[in-house]
Amino acid sequence: MTRSKTKVQGKRILLIVGGGIAAYKALELVRRLKEGGASVRVILTKGGAEFVTPLSFSVLSEEKTFTDLFDLKEEAEIGHIRLSREADHVVVAPATADLLAKMATGTASDLASTVLLATDKRVLVAPAMNVRMWQHPATRRNVTTLRADGIHFVGPDEGEMACGEFGPGRMAEPEAIVSAIARLLSEKQKGPLTGRHVLITSGPTHEPLDPVRYIANRSSGKQGHALARAALALGARVTLVSGPVNLPNIRGVNAVKVETAQEMLDAVLDALPADIALCAAAVADWRASAEAAQKLKKERGADVSLSLAQNPDILATIAIPGPQRPELVIGFAAETRNVVDHARAKRRAKGADWIVANDVSAATGIMGGDRTQVHLVTGAGVEDWPAMSKDEMAARLLARAAESLSSVRSAAE
């Protein structure tokens, strides 16, 4: 354990315990991870609870043990998403044939399988099952699929089983699982954007009128932050320039917090060069020509006139051809009418490569919500994407962006 301690020290491990006699070994796994300095949260499946109690894991982990997808309090806080995103690494031990099948087919029928479908972290599985089940063609197909999906395996070991048979199917020993976790945590995760710098703007800007009031909009920053998570998951170095939002920082992302459009432009220019720029912020078009030094007072019967000036155009500025221009510049267009026509015009006027456009009319619920429906406008035409979560849209868009950069590089070579 001493050698692995520094590699799991301070890491957050989410352990999913499947059903089977090997579930008792998961208690020892929790103990060893805690000794190594890791924090451990446990999801105990219904089958796993037939062999080990939730209380046993709670005592060892010093955390609540999670069992139910339909826990009212947890799911009011989107528990299955929170659990998957707050971990540094997800481990399934024991991973039964049933759990492997659910993972391979994308089934989400309980808390464990739903978390596995929602996670953006690397997953390590320690299979444990009867030798005939491990050797069955269906299990072999599932394992092949999971390996292709990037799932990591430790074991199974070969030996005598509780059922009396002998062969491969025994869960790897806790010490071997801890070593596998430490090894994966020490490896830099590679993806199609590894070595690339992705620059993202997010949220609104606040343009002060006086020390109390400001001009702003209803942007929540959820889409921009989803883009940052997606870029990070693909291996990119990510700079997120964000206006005032009520969202937590993203671990591993360089966050630059600003308030005004001018501050956002300055931060963006300071962050260049970048390979991809995604201008998802809803920047205020105007600011006060002169900010009042004192609070503007309301006087009975008197109207107040405001003199406004245009803010700098961040998207158009970074899209100007030159050595600092990112290879791929993507703008966002939040519209309430003639969405595609306005997006086409914006792409031409700003010099952007792509525009992601959507209808943010109040009836859509997109502004400030968790779902979106977009049109991707490129030089080749318009793609109408179906409704999906903002995280799903971000992952799809960044995958397309990575593919586009790869194609450009291949053509140049």
In order of their start, the domains of the chain are 2-186 (3.40.50.1950), 197-291+302-412 (3.40.50.10300)
Q: Establish whether 166 is an annotated binding residue.
A: no
Catalytic residue among 162, 163, 306, 349: 163
Q: Establish whether 332 is an annotated binding residue.
A: yes
d(CA 117, CA 107): 8
d(CA 101, CA 97): 6
**What number of CA atoms fall less than 13 Å from residue 246's CA on the CB side?**
4
Closest CA to 36 of 61, 14, 3: 3
Q: Establish whether 315 is an annotated binding residue.
A: yes
Residue type, 137: P
Please name the helix (run of DSSP H) or strand (run of DSSP E) that holds residue 139, with its range, or none: helix 137-148
Q: Establish whether 295 is an annotated binding residue.
A: yes
DSSP SS3 for 267:
helix
Please name the helix (run of DSSP H) or strand (run of DSSP E) that holds residue 355, with its range, or none: strand 354-359
Q: Check: CB of residue 162 under 8 Å from CB of residue 16.
A: no
Beta strand pairing call for 166-170 and 197-202: unpaired
DSSP SS3 for 165:
coil
- Longest pairwise C-alpha distance within the chain: 92
Please name the helix (run of DSSP H) or strand (run of DSSP E) that holds residue 371, with its range, or none: strand 371-372
Q: Establish whether 81 is an annotated binding residue.
A: no
d(CA 251, CA 39): 16
Would you state the structure tokens that stand for residue 204, as one six-digit string? 């609104």
DSSP string, 32-91: HHHHTT-EEEEEE-TTGGGTS-HHHHHHHHTSPEE--TT-HHHHHTTHHHHHHHS-SEEE
Q: Establish whether 285 is an annotated binding residue.
A: yes
pLDDT for 79: 56
163 is catalytic: yes
pLDDT for 408: 60
pLDDT for 77: 46
Closest CA to 15 of 32, 208, 235: 32
Within 8 A by CB and 6+ apart from 266, the residues are 258
Q: Establish whether 350 is an annotated binding residue.
A: yes
* Ordered per-residue pLDDT tens for the chain, 413 residues: 444 445 788 788 899 999 888 889 999 999 999 888 888 999 999 999 989 999 999 999 888 898 876 654 554 444 557 787 778 889 998 999 999 999 998 888 888 988 898 887 889 999 999 888 898 999 988 888 888 777 889 988 887 766 667 677 889 899 999 988 888 887 655 678 988 999 999 999 999 988 888 888 878 899 999 999 999 988 899 999 999 999 988 888 999 999 999 999 999 999 999 999 999 999 988 898 888 888 888 777 677 778 888 999 999 999 999 999 999 999 999 888 899 999 999 999 999 999 999 988 877 777 777 788 999 999 999 999 998 888 899 999 999 999 988 766 544 44
Q: Establish whether 46 is an annotated binding residue.
A: no
d(CA 307, CA 207): 13
The pTM for the full model equals 0.56
190 CB neighbour count, 10 Å cutoff? 10
pLDDT for 72: 44
DSSP string, 87-127: -SEEEEEEE-HHHHHHHHHT---SHHHHHHHH--S-EEEEE
- Name the CA dihedral angle for 126, 127, 129, 132, rounded to a multiple of 10 degrees: -150
